[in-house]
Chain A
Amino acid sequence: MIKPFVAFAVLLVILLFSMSLHYGLFPYSKATKTMQEMTALTHMTHLSLSVGYDESVYNSTYPEMTALGRMDFVYER
């Protein structure tokens, strides 16, 4: 292998290595624990979608369920 190519290969290995390092050292337990504690407090896991969908027909928390149509009095669609 010629030298510039060895350098390129080493670079790729370093990229892979740093990626694995980040992956291996990420504080997973902290991240998932907070999510679980949040769920435990509210008894629900509601994906914070920030889309402009019509909440009165789509229930983002429980897609199987119909949405709560409670808010029409505040904001007329």
Chain B
Amino acid sequence: MNANAFWHFLTLQLFKERSKHLSVIVISAMILFLLSSVLFISSSIRFSLEETLKVQPDFVVSRVQGGISVPTPMIWEDELIDIYGVSNVIQRVYGRYFFKAKERSFLIVGVDFLEEQSHENLQKLIAKTDIKAFLNGSKMLVGEGVKTYLDAHFYKDDYNFLTPEGTFEKVNIFKTLPFQSNLIANDMMVMPIDLARKILGYSEEEVSDITFNVPNPDEWDMMTDKVSALHYDLQVVNKKDVQKSYENLYNYKGGLFLILFLVVLSTFTLILYQRYSMVYSSERRNIGLLRALGWSINDVLKFKFTETLVIVFASYILGVFFAYVYVFVLGAPLLKEVFLGGQNLQNTLTFVPVLDFSVLTSIFLIYALPFIAAVLIPVWRVSVTEPKEAML
């Protein structure tokens, strides 16, 4: 078969029957769009989080009593420092603060600005920050979502926190955290650690948890055992567990994904069914006619296979392209809410483009194989029977 004549007729046939193929391409592209969007978003979030693993502390230690986290005593810090191989022991104070009137919550994070390192980190994050001005009086840095929300509720410059003692603590909004960190900082309020303590109700000797590093990863298992043995109510988590949790990210929304997947599958089955029955009614006659005009079974199969392949590729490229634009250029409006939730604060994050080629390939196979099979099997069954219908 001359490739030129073959392609000429193939494309001619596709083009002349475009209205018939268009619906199939549009529906397939939409399914692929949905599937790819979901996978793009989750792999992008996972990528961004995993990138931060490099700078996350290796271990987190906290106190758990009766299955409930309780404030961790600060003296544990000294016990940890004494362990050989442990470095960079840092206390953390953080917690959710509920904006009770509207059922919204912020994450208050205390940072120890007595540490020289914290100044440097802040300077890096927000260039030309006047640290002295920041530490002078009660001030905080807020995430973009928090800023937008407070603005909308007339807290333009400051916010009055209600402390557990029943007193009010007025904190000025110093600056907004950079939008590139919205994935983790959107609902954050970063403030000096003592201020955070006061608002969250921790006493002088209490922290939320304590983190430390163990530079040699080979010692991590041993260290976990050693640290766990310090106190009966001590819980320790290391970075490997965190990494694992990132890998499983969104599994907890399995129900939702399951529904999405079922919708996709059933739509797909519908298309396949449509294709299948199409072959049996009108195509049956066309195939018989082609055979009567001297086409062999092989010619017909090759033609139909290539035709299907063109449709499959076209829908795949369209679906993936629009998913890419939707997620990485437009920021996945609507679908984002499925992933990040839309109940608390509006998050205007941009997703970092991540194309996982193994995922793209598996999407293609999951979609293309049943599609091609559903078209070719009936075509094959029609082609091999004697095409007497063409005569009638």
Q: Touching in the complex, A and B, CB below 8 A?
A: yes
Which A residues lie at the B interface, using CB under 8 A? 1-2, 4-5, 8, 12, 15-16, 19, 22-23, 26, 28, 30-32, 34-52, 55, 59, 61-71, 73-75
Whole-angstrom distance between the Cβ of B300 and the nearest chain A Cβ: 20
A47 to B340, CA, bound (A): 9
Can you list 9 A-B pairs, Cβ within 8 angstroms, ordered by A?
A35-B184, A39-B52, A43-B211, A48-B183, A50-B343, A50-B345, A62-B242, A66-B67, A73-B201
Residues of B within 8 A of A (CB): 7-8, 11-12, 14-15, 45, 48-49, 51-57, 60, 62, 64, 67-71, 90, 92, 94-98, 100, 103, 105, 107, 109, 111, 118, 121-122, 124-125, 143, 145, 162, 164, 177-178, 180-188, 190, 200-202, 208-209, 211, 235, 237, 241-242, 245, 313-314, 317-318, 320-321, 324-325, 328-329, 337, 340-347, 349-350, 352-353, 355
| Contact yes or no, A35 B52, CB < 8 A | yes
Contact B184 A45 (CB under 8 A): yes
Question: In the complex, given contacts A44-B57, A71-B97, what are 4 additional A-B residue pairs having Cβ atoms less than 8 angstroms apart?
Answer: A30-B180, A46-B188, A48-B182, A55-B96
User: Is B321 a contact of A15 with CB atoms below 8 Å?
Assistant: yes
Q: Which residue of B lies closest to A37 (CB)?
A: B125
Query: What is the total of A-B residue contacts with beta carbons within 8 Å?
Result: 208
Contact B340 A43 (CB under 8 A): no
Given the interface contacts A38-B177, A43-B90, A44-B94, does A51 sit within 8 Å of B340 by beta carbon? Answer: yes
Which of A12, A19, A38 contacts B181, CB < 8 Å?
A: A38
Q: How far is the CA of A73 from the CA of B82 in the complex (A)?
A: 36
Q: Which residues of A contact B202 (CB under 8 A)?
A: 70
B185 → A minimal CB distance (Å): 5
- Provide the bound-state CA to CA distance between A74 and B103, in Å: 11
Distance between A37 CB and nearest chain B CB, rounded to angstroms = 4
B342 interface neighbour in A36, A50, A75, Cβ under 8 Å: A50
The answer to whether A35 touches B181 (Cβ under 8 A) is yes
Residue of B nearest to A69 (CB): B68
> A5–B55 contact, CB under 8 A?
no
Question: How long is the Cα–Cα vector from A63 to B185 in the complex, in angstroms?
Answer: 18
Of A4, A30, A52, which is within 8 A of B344 by CB?
A52
Chain A minimum-CB-distance residue to B107: A46
Q: A43-B211, A74-B162 are in contact. Are A37 and B121 (CB under 8 A)?
A: yes
- Give A8 to B21 CA distance when docked, in angstroms: 14
Give complex CA distance A66, B185 in Å.
21
Q: Report the bound CA distance from A52 to B103 in whole Å.
A: 9
| Contact call A48/B188, Cβ cutoff below 8 A | yes
- B318 contacts A64, CB within 8 Å? no
B237 touches A47 (CB 8 A): no
Contact at A36–B353, with CB atoms within 8 Å? no
With A42-B188, A48-B188 in contact, is A64–B245 under 8 Å at CB?
A: yes
Q: Which of B100, B107, B318, B350 contacts A75 (CB 8 A)?
A: B100
Which of B143, B242, B347 counts the most chain A CB atoms within 10 A? B242
CB-based contact A74/B49 at 8 Å: no
Closest chain B CB from A55 CB (angstroms): 5
**Residue contact A62 to B237, C-beta cutoff 8 Å:** yes
Which residues does chain B contribute within 8 Å of A67, judged by CB atoms? 69
Nearest Cβ in chain B — how far from A66, in angstroms?
5
Could you tell me the distance in whole angstroms from the C-beta of B239 to the nearest C-beta in chain A? Answer: 10
CA distance A23 to B12 in the complex (A): 34
Partner pick for B48 among A8, A31, A46, A62, CB 8 A cutoff: A31
Question: Given the complex, which residues of A lie within 8 Å of B122, measured CB to CB?
Answer: 41
Chain A CB within 10 A, most for which of B125, B209, B347: B125
Asked, given contacts A1-B8, A31-B48, A74-B100, whether A49 binds B324 with beta carbons under 8 Å apart, the answer is: no
Asked, given contacts A64-B245, A68-B69, A71-B97, whether A22 binds B329 with beta carbons under 8 Å apart, the answer is yes
In the bound complex, do residue B341 and residue A52 qualify as a contact, i.e. CB atoms below 8 Å apart?
yes
A36 close to B52 (CB less than 8 A): yes
Q: Which residues does chain B contribute within 8 Å of A23, judged by CB atoms?
A: 324, 353, 355
- Given known A35-B52, A37-B121, contact A51–B177 (CB-CB < 8 A): no
The answer to whether residues A71 and B317 also contact, given A1-B8, A36-B52 and a CB cut-off of 8 A, is no
| Closest Cβ neighbor of A57 among chain B residues | B68
